[in-house]
Structure 1
Amino acid sequence: MGHLKNKTIRKFNEKDLRDKLKQVRTDLFKLRIESTKGTLRKESGKLKPLRKDIARMMTRLNELKKI
């Protein structure tokens, strides 16, 4: 999965954004498990961008709540 930009995140409606957030959290969880096992080599640089994507999506969800 690639990096999500704010422009892309803003196109999602609330339901789609929640679904995408769930998917990204699952991906992050799987990568963290691989990291603790010691089998995460090539994908070690994907952890930080996934965390940032989650933060962007959470920010957008909070913005939608305030509207």
Structure 2
Amino acid sequence: MSRNRTKTLRQFNDQDLKDKLSDLKVDLAKLRSESIKGTLKKEAGVIRWKRRDIARILTLMNERTGAKR
């Protein structure tokens, strides 16, 4: 799976972003469980990028809703 760029994520509609977010969360959970077991080898750095992609999607979703503090 390739990294998600903000430019391409902005082209998605809300439902696509939610689907992408749920997929990333599932992938991250699998990677974390493999990391705990000690079976994670080559993809050790992928956890960081998955977390950042999740944060990027959440930021876009918050921007679209106009959530202000």
Task: Tell me whether the two structures share a fold, i.e. TM-score over 0.5.
Answer: yes
1:18 maps to: 18
Matches within 5 A, 1:1-67: 1-66=1-66
Deviation at 1:14, TM superposition (A): 0.5
Aligned residues: 67
- Amino acid across the alignment from 1:39: T
Cα RMSD over matched residues? Answer: 1.1
**Whole-Å Cα distance in 1 between the matches of residues 58 and 2 of structure 2?**
18
Sequence identity of aligned pairs in percent? 49
- Secondary structure of 2:3's counterpart equals coil
Q: Which runs of 4+ in 1 moved over 2 A?
A: none
Superposition TM-score, scaled by structure 2 size = 0.93
- Please, which runs of 5 or more residues in structure 2 have no aligned partner? none
Superposition TM-score, scaled by structure 1 size = 0.96
**Whole-Å Cα distance in 1 between the matches of residues 24 and 48 of structure 2?**
12
**Whole-Å Cα distance in 1 between the matches of residues 20 and 48 of structure 2?**
17
Deviation at 1:2, TM superposition (A): 1.3
**Whole-Å Cα distance in 2 between the matches of residues 2 and 26 of structure 1?**
16
